[in-house]
Chain A
């Protein structure tokens, strides 16, 4: 069996890569991919922890719910991105200068 610490190291790496992607990229689609990576880091954690507590499916059901909500979240994000594309003709976060103090 793979040691728990390896899984934790992997998931925190995945979380960091995702967070870095969200913070550095300028394309909303790529930023969304970064967020999906972060969510999947949590999923991997939950699935690996479910081995430690074999009674019940709690963690696995939690992971399923996360997948579901992530799908809904990306659907809304893509809908807004499509709308922005129709208004601006281009999709780039750095265009967003309408709201500044």
Chain B
């Protein structure tokens, strides 16, 4: 017990986040001090980030809660992305018709759940943690409760999410039946190919396919991303998607890594179809939120390329891709939340706000994968790792998709610079969304110019999960 308590410091970031969630919950009961709740949330995230920085390089476990460099990297990503979402929310929630304490509390609890996910090394902790994060995000998606589209998004998200959870649970129960263990490492030693294992694998691929919105299971993504409040959409794209990839890594690489021969081809095919469909359907969208949702589907496909490659570089760059994707999507949803979600509402943005227009341009170029930006490096390494594993067809499909995606990102850039708009009033006020966009843009530029430290950290980090 004594040594259990001595390791208590590794959960302190999570404890900080949960405590500040309660604080935020009670700070805005009447809807009169909305900004206060937002700033409490921001302070909570920053304190947690600072404490997490002191834990760099610390390895240890508290019963089944493990802190290693893999969990550390993901936690940093979640906290940073959630802090950006909190910044976006401070301005975006001005339009809320009720108190916003619950919103920030749910945001922090969802982040805490995601942080527990990456520290979980057994099935029970993993399940409870990802349900904590998912349940909070369902409520967040339906948060604008006077808005029918938000209701609809929340209910759709909940039903697809609950359905996929049920499939995942059935798969997990079969894995427990085959091995008698719930610890992921013990499972990877005990499991072997058998018909029941294939059934479990099918259930898990379908269930986690829903979570990361891979193609046959992607239908909920555009609806939910479009209907949810835009700040919540930023959270879903930045944090929930990264959490989905983290669970994918933990279950498939750490838990079922010994069955790689059985699932590699399926994941590779899903990755190819996901990239292609996401990019092709995004071409015809006129709603920017919906377009970015399809782009988000395509990016899940890119991350799956790294998992299918199944070598250290592939897995590290899948995580790296989630980092850059979080920055790009959080930033672009920040601008979209400020300007409006139809592509016409972005017309002439250059005339109105130089900073927002420039940031949006950086996000679009980075999403398309243009060289000096962060999005280029993550794709480059993903496709390189696929080539290393001999999946050169997958790499080729990925490159072709990057070319297709240029077309719809270019439409946004055209709207910003070329098309004239009757709204020419210059925005002098610095909104919180612009602050968030500038932070994201800075991150993308820094990672884009100097990506080596990040990928080196991640290559070090994935030793904890790569067998």
> Which A residues are closer than 8 A to B by beta carbons?
11, 15, 18-19, 22, 28, 31-32, 35, 38-39, 41-43, 45-46, 48-49, 52-53, 58-59, 61-62, 65-66, 69, 72-73, 76-77, 79-81, 83-84, 87-88, 96, 98-99, 101
Contacts and interface: CB of A to CB of B under 8 A. Distances in A.
Contact of B128 (A15, A31, A65, A101): A65
A11 B171 CA distance: 12
A70 B276 CA distance: 35
Nearest to A63: B173
Given A31-B159, A80-B151, A81-B155, A72 B176 contact: no
B155 A46 contact: no
B163 to A, nearest CB: 6
Interface in B247-291: 281, 284-285, 287, 290
A26 B174 CA distance: 30
24 contacts: A15-B166, A15-B170, A38-B163, A38-B169, A39-B169, A42-B170, A42-B172, A45-B173, A49-B176, A49-B180, A58-B124, A58-B176, A62-B123, A66-B127, A66-B169, A69-B131, A76-B158, A80-B158, A83-B142, A83-B145, A96-B152, A96-B155, A96-B156, A99-B153
Nearest to A86: B145
Contact of A62 (B124, B135, B158, B162): B124
Interface residues of B, number: 44
Nearest to B161: A73
Given A18-B166, A49-B173, A65-B124, 7 more contacts: A15-B166, A38-B163, A41-B170, A45-B174, A66-B127, A69-B131, A101-B287
Say what secondary structure dominates the interface of chain B: helix
Contacts of A18: 166
Say what secondary structure dominates the interface of chain A: helix
Contacts of B177: 45, 48-49, 52
B182 interface: yes
A76 B139 CA distance: 7
A9 B358 CA distance: 59
A80 B138 CA distance: 9
A41 to B, nearest CB: 6
A88 B148 contact: yes
Contacts of A79: 139
A4 B174 CA distance: 12
A94 to B, nearest CB: 12
Contacts of A77: 138, 155, 158-159, 162
A49 B179 CA distance: 10
B339 interface: no
B231 interface: no
B244 interface: no
Contact of A80 (B127, B142, B284, B290): B142
